Structure 1
Amino acid sequence: MNLLAEEAAGILAEVCESVGLDSRGAELLRVRSNAVFRLRGDGGDIVVRIATAPDALTRLPVVLAVARWLADLGFPAVRPADEIGGQPLVHDGRVITFWHYVPASGRPTTTQLGRILRSLHRLPVPPFPLKRLADPLAEVRQAVENRTEVLTPCQRAWLRDRVAELSARWTALATAGPPVLLHGDAWIDNLLRCQDGHAVLCDWDGVAVGPREWDLVHTYHGQRRFGLTEADVDDFAGAYGSDLRAWPGYPTLMEIRDMYAVGIHIRNATRDPFSRKELPRRLDSLTRGDGQARWYLAEPA
Structure 2
Amino acid sequence: MADFQTPQHIARRTSAAVDAAVGAGRDLGLSVTDAAVLYDLFSVVVHLAPSPVVARIPVVLPHTTDLDALERRQQAELDVARWLADQGIPVIPPSPLVPREPVQRDGLSMTFWQFVEEDRGKEPDYVANCEFVPDLHAAMRAYPGRLSFLSAAEPQFITESLALLEKHSDLIGPAELERARREWKVLEPLVRSRTAFEKAFPGIDLQPVHGDCPPANIFSGVDGDLYSDFELVTLGPVEWDLAALGPDLESAYNRGAQRNGMRPLNGDVMGFVNAVGMLRAITVLTLAPQLPPLVEYVKPAIDQWQTMPFAGGMAD
TM-score range, shorter chain: 0.7 to 0.9
Q: Is the 8 A contact 1:36 1:50 kept in 2?
A: yes
Instruction: Report Cα offsets for 1:68-90 as digits up to 9, x if no partner.
Output: 11121111111111312373011
Aligned counterpart in structure 1 of residue 117 of structure 2, from 94, 103, 107: 103
Render the CA deviation track for 1:69-116: whole Å, top value 9, x for unaligned: 112111111111131237301123321111112223213433344234
Report whether the alignment pairs 1:136 with 2:153: yes
Letter matched to residue 70 of structure 1: L
Aligned counterparts of 2:34 and 2:290: Cα–Cα separation in 1: 24
Q: Give the CA deviation at 1:191.
A: 0.5
Question: 1:18 & 1:137 partners in 2: Cα distance?
Answer: 29
Q: CA deviation at 1:49?
A: 1.2
Q: TM-score, normalised by structure 1?
A: 0.76
SS in 1 for 2:50: helix
- Equivalent position of 1:46 in the other structure: 53
Q: CA shift at 1:253, angstroms?
A: 2.8
The number of residue pairs the alignment matches comes to: 275
Distance 1:280 1:81 in 2: 37
Deviation larger for 249-258 or 152-161: 152-161
Match of 1:248 among 268, 289, 292: 268
Unaligned 5+ runs, structure 1: 225-229, 293-301
**RMSD value, Cα:** 3.1
Contact 1:120 1:181 in 2 (8 A): yes
Shift of 1:281: 4.8
In the superposition, relative to structure 1, how do residues 5 and 82 fare at CA in structure 2: closer, same or farther (>3 Å)? farther
TM-score of the aligned structures, taking structure 2 as reference length: 0.73
Larger mean CA deviation between 268-277 and 17-26 belongs to: 17-26
Sequence identity percentage: 18
Question: SS of the residue aligned with 1:273?
Answer: coil
Q: Contact 1:8 / 1:50 at 8 angstroms: preserved in 2?
A: no
Q: Say which SS state the counterpart of residue 42 (structure 1) adopts.
A: coil
Secondary structure, counterpart of 1:181 in structure 2: strand
Where 2:137 maps in the other structure, the secondary structure is: helix
Residues 142-176 of structure 1 deviation map (CA, whole Å, 9 limit, x = unaligned): 33345666556936554333322232466364165
Aligned amino acid, residue 255 of structure 1? A
| In 1, Cα distance between equivalents of 2:159 and 2:134 | 28
Q: Aligned in 2, Cα 1:175/1:6: closer, same or farther, shift over 3 Å? A: farther
Mind listing any 5+ residue stretches in structure 2 that lack a counterpart? 1-5, 192-196, 310-316
Distance in 2 between residues matched to 1:49 and 1:258, nearest whole Å:
26
Residue correspondence of structure 1 range 7-22 to structure 2 within 5 A = 7-20=13-26, 22=32
Q: Any idea what the Cα deviations from partners look like across 1:268-298, whole Å, max 9, x if unmatched?
A: 2112121133345544554xx2349xxxxxx
- Asked if 1:269 corresponds to 2:288, the answer is yes
Contact 1:193–1:200 at 8 Å: present in 2 too? yes
Match of 1:69 in 2: 83
